């Protein structure tokens, strides 16, 4: 019988951590008319990670308020909140719940289910651990960057409109980029 030693990361601390939304960013990029990219972010989100003694046994959960979308254009944001996209009136939250953390080829991958419009789909996030530190108030902080891409149509976000030479107004593929800072909960 072979046993594998737990993965060790310098400075790693086990515990429960809460997202610091002031120092975090939940953003996305999607092609518009197939000739440019529109960037946006969500202003309201919450979540926590529970880091286990064995790093690979850690878990993550997060909630994003669909109404907090900001693409720097209020008319577009209102359309994205509508039933054509998020249906935020009836489906006010996007959620993520992890199902596993993997380490392969020197990189980390977080598997989980992302739910949009009530439809859950598996996603894989490439995760970069940015380290830990103690803040000016004695709190322990940690940070991560994560990226993935999803098909909006897989979540029932099926708005279609052709423009010009048959180009879609908005692409199916959505690139997601997260910059997350967490504060360790007091024991």
Residue 7 resides in a domain: no
Residue 1 resides in a domain: no
Helix (H), strand (E) at residue 75: helix 74-81
In this structure, are residues 130 and 182 in contact, taking their beta carbons and an 8 Å threshold? no
Q: Range of 129's domain?
A: 16-184
Residue 13: its pLDDT value, please? Answer: 81
Q: Which two tokens stand for residue 171?
A: 């692409």
Tokens 């953003």 sit at which residue?
27
Tell whether the model's pLDDT for residue 3 goes beyond 50.
Answer: no
Residue 11 resides in a domain: no
Residue 159 resides in a domain: yes
In the chain, the DSSP E strands lie at 15-19, 25-32, 36-42, 45-51, 59-65, 69-70, 93-104, 107-116, 119-134, 140-151, 162-163, 167-168, 170-184
Residue 8 resides in a domain: no
Residue 166: its pLDDT value, please? Answer: 61
Residue 76 resides in a domain: yes
Mean residue pLDDT across the chain: 91
User: Tell me: the pLDDT tens digits for 99-131?
Assistant: 999 999 989 999 999 999 999 999 999 999 998
Whole-prediction pTM value?
0.90
- Percent of the chain exceeding pLDDT 70 equals 90
Q: How does residue 184 score in pLDDT terms, banded at 50, 70 and 90?
A: very high
Tell whether the model's pLDDT for residue 10 goes beyond 80.
Answer: no
d(CA 128, CA 107): 7
Residue 2: its pLDDT value, please? Answer: 41
Tell whether the model's pLDDT for residue 139 goes beyond 90.
Answer: yes
User: Tell me: the pLDDT tens digits for 57-101?
Assistant: 999 999 999 999 999 999 999 999 999 999 999 999 999 999 999
Q: Nearest to residue 113, comparing CAs of 99, 101, 103, 94? A: 99
Residue 77 resides in a domain: yes
Q: Number of folded domains in the chain?
A: 1
Q: 140: domain CATH number? A: 2.40.128.110
Residue 84 resides in a domain: yes
In this structure, are residues 113 and 146 in contact, taking their beta carbons and an 8 Å threshold? no
Give Cβ neighbours of residue 174 (< 8 Å, ≥ 6 apart).
28, 29, 30, 149, 150, 151, 152
Residue 29: its pLDDT value, please? Answer: 98
Tell whether the model's pLDDT for residue 165 goes beyond 80.
Answer: no
């Amino acid at each position: 019988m072979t046993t594998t030693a737990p993965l060790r990361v310098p400075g790693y601390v086990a515990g429960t951590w809460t997202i610091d939304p002031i120092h975090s960013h939940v953003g996305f990029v999607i092609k518009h008319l197939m000739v440019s990219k529109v960037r946006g972010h969500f202003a309201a989100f919450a979540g926590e990670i529970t880091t286990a003694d064995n790093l690979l046994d850690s878990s993550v959960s997060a909630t994003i308020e669909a109404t907090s979308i900001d693409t720097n254009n209020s008319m577009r944001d209102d359309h994205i909140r509508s039933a054509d996209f998020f249906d935020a009136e009836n489906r006010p939250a996007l959620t993520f719940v992890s199902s596993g953390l993997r380490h392969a080829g020197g990189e980390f991958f977080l598997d989980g289910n992302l739910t949009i419009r009530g439809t859950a789909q598996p996603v894989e996030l490439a995760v970069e651990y940015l380290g830990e530190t103690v803040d000016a108030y004695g709190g322990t902080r940690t940070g991560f960057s994560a990226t993935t891409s999803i098909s909006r149509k897989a979540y029932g976000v099926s708005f279609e409109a052709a423009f010009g030479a048959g180009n879609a107004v908005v692409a199916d593929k959505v690139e997601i980029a997260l910059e997350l800072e967490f504060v360790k909960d007091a024991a």
